[in-house]
């Protein structure tokens, strides 16, 4: 189950929550101030989780990242 982040528009607190993908667009009350005015941020899950972690690995050989499968080349560049 992916983790989603919701940022409060009042206090900018980010609330993280585990929820099914089908409920990703449901609003979530801010856990800090209780405001319902929150908007979902692109979580790392949605914004390229495949690249996450590769930054800590040694440089990839030319021709693509063999570990994350990125055809554009070694990730983390």
CB atoms within 10 A of CB 36: 11
CB of 38 to Zn ion, least distance (A): 7
Q: Is there a contact between 36 and 26 (Cβ–Cβ < 8 Å)?
A: no
Which of 4, 5, 28, 30 lies at the binding interface for Zn ion (CB under 5 A)?
30
Rg (CA), the chain: 17
Asked if 33 interacts with Zn ion (CB under 5 A), we say yes
CA dist., res. 13 & res. 75, Å (int): 30
Asked if 32 interacts with Zn ion (CB under 5 A), we say yes
CB of 33 to Zn ion, least distance (A): 3
Q: Which CB, 1 or 26, lies closer to Zn ion? A: 26
Provide the sign of the torsion angle of the four alpha carbons 47, 49, 50, 51, taken in this order.
positive
Asked if 11 interacts with Zn ion (CB under 5 A), we say yes
Number of residues that bind Zn ion (CB under 5 A): 8
């Amino acid at each position: 189950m992916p983790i989603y982040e919701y940022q409060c528009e009042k206090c900018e607190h980010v609330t993280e929550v585990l929820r099914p993908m089908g409920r990703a667009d449901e609003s979530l009350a801010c856990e800090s101030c209780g405001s319902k005015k929150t908007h979902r941020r692109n979580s790392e899950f949605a914004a390229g989780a495949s690249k996450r972690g590769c930054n800590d690995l040694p440089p990839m050989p030319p021709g693509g990242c063999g570990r994350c499968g990125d055809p554009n080349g070694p990730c983390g560049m």
